């Protein structure tokens, strides 16, 4: 859950930067570049994190009892 926070925050910053293009027309090219860079960094992190989660779920056994003990405490 917390791993995806970085990805979501980068995507949100990309949207915020894209929304700043209208009020600052002198910086349009720079803001679009920053927005695209943030968006692509978020995509790369998303792919990396999802790959690691998929790897963990597929190739390692899930210990339900151990997970239950963590949730109960």
Q: What is the pTM of this model?
A: 0.76
- The CA distance from 27 to 69, in Å, is 53
Does the pLDDT of residue 70 top 90, yes or no? no
CA distances to 4, 6, 8, 12, 59 from 40, rounded to whole Å, are: 15, 13, 12, 12, 28
- Read off the pLDDT of residues 8-63 as tens digits, 9 standing for 90 and up: 999 999 999 999 999 999 999 999 999 999 999 999 999 999 999 899 889 988 77
Q: What is the pLDDT of residue 46?
A: 94
Does the pLDDT of residue 2 top 90, yes or no? no
């Amino acid at each position: 859950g917390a791993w995806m926070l970085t990805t979501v925050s980068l995507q949100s910053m990309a949207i915020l930067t894209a929304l700043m293009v209208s009020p600052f027309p002198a910086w349009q090219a720079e803001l679009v570049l920053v927005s695209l860079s943030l968006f692509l960094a978020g995509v790369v992190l998303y792919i990396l994190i999802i790959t690691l989660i998929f790897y963990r779920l597929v190739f390692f056994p899930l210990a339900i009892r151990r997970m239950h003990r963590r949730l109960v405490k």
